[in-house]
Structure 1
Amino acid sequence: MERAGLDMRVAALVNDTIGTLAGGRYSNQDVVSAVILGTGTNAAYVERAHAIPKWHGLLPKSGEMVINMEWGNFRSSHLPLTEYDQALDVESLNPGEQIFEKVISGMYLGEIVRRVLCQMAEEAAFFGDTVPPKLKIPFILRTPDMSAMHHDTSSDLRVVGKKLKDILEIPNTSLKMRKVIVSLCDIVATRGARLSAAGIVGILKKLGRDTVKDGEKQKSVIALDGGLYEHYMKFSACMKSTVKEMLGEEVSENITIELSNDGSGIGAALLAASHSQYLGVDESFSTI
């Protein structure tokens, strides 16, 4: 900003998850959590201040605080990791970190599919006697390509065939091959979607919103932003149905997952404005 000669002051530094939560909460007080499902993933939620054991200062007047979870770095022996996930992690730029992100986010889903296809080509001659050279290139198969193949409804799965030809330079594939690839996309996407749903249910459980207490029905809204959720329809549909499955019909009636278009940008602007107003700053110049 200084190099560009911009007369600006940074009023708030906000990550996209907190921005989405702020934007969602501004328009709807029932928003209790925000989740990003895009290239990466994260979640944040509104917690009762007295329920935060690490906080030792004065409690805020509202009695609430925002928790930025950084849930992409969650790891557990209960996560259903495969040899493909482990190999991807070891060869990644941040081995041992962001394990949850590596099984549910848009940066990695297509790569997992590529790794499975590569092993099928090497060990079962899935594409013939030779392994297609392009198939050995990490991240050449992106999640949007995977999504396009997964959503292919044509009788001959021509979209799958075109993706294999254009991206992996595999010109001749049978319908049987294409069906196997669609099934593989479904397996990887379903696992990611169900794990994402489990994370959301975990937040609701922490807040005590996973049950109906004394007949009282609390509305809970999850603000969700990110291209993976917005554009990969089979992923988002599976995630929603899994949340409903895990919570049951009665509780899930009061749980809403809402798409928040650029909620992060709007929320960041609102936080910057409210912070400036709180400080009584002279806003004769621009604020970001």
Structure 2
Amino acid sequence: MPTTPDAEPAARPGVLTLAATPIGNPADASYRLVRALLDADLVAAEDTRRLARLCRDLDVELTASVVAYHEHNEGERTAWLLDALREGHSVVLVTDAGMPVVSDPGYRAVRAAIDADLPVTIVPGPSAVLTALAASGLPTDRFAFEGFAPRGEGRRAGVFAALAGEERTLIFFESPRRTAVTLAAMAAGFGADRPAAVARELTKTHEEVRRGTLGELAAWAQDREVLGEIVLVVGGSRTVRARAEDLVGQVVARTTAGERMKDAAKAVAAAHEGVSSRELYELALRHDGT
């Protein structure tokens, strides 16, 4: 499958289904995922052994043909999948964990199917990106997924320097072997006081979410062997907690310009998370009296 290169096109093409799989706990699998696997004519899997293990966990007996689809064969295998779709076969694409395409194979297949005017649908499900973001305790209204940080020290430093002013919460994947080095580089590039979180082994038995500043997390990772699947979440530049002592000058300047000191303290505090307007007001009063 597909049958032959010269096969007659089906009256109705098959559908390419991108199906999210559990990121750790197989109990997170959706009913739609189970249904999609059972109904598929062809399953393209990043790792066929992991697919077999997932099917055992879900008590799914595949009747579909199974092929490997990963970063090393995407180019040649994508055209083959499109032929199967044109012949009317339903194709389900799964990766090792989470949503295909997101730092995983699948983009070439989706792009090629869209360009060929073939139908694409999604079976949504677990996502390490969103799970880590929700668990981090950092702002979720605006965020950006940055994938894996560059391995090279120079490129990594350059990327972090370019992102230092980014106001959105940033999410990275990382290898456990490089977590300590990356956290140290983040502390240097974003500032040691930037709030962040390290999420490891999400949904698994040894799940852990460690929160703190980048400086604290870098020190923590340096002293131990970090294990498991790692997601790093870094607060945006606006989430850095300012100290009230550093903001007194703004209150004084607004007061000098004619604003009531109490109103000025409230306005400055409102613009900086975690800063007390009362503390700012009292500090400004003391400053004004010196």
The alignment's TM-score, normalised by the length of structure 1, stands at: 0.25
User: Greater share of helix residues, 1 or 2?
Assistant: 1
TM-score relative to the length of structure 2: 0.25
Structure with the higher strand share, 1 or 2: 2
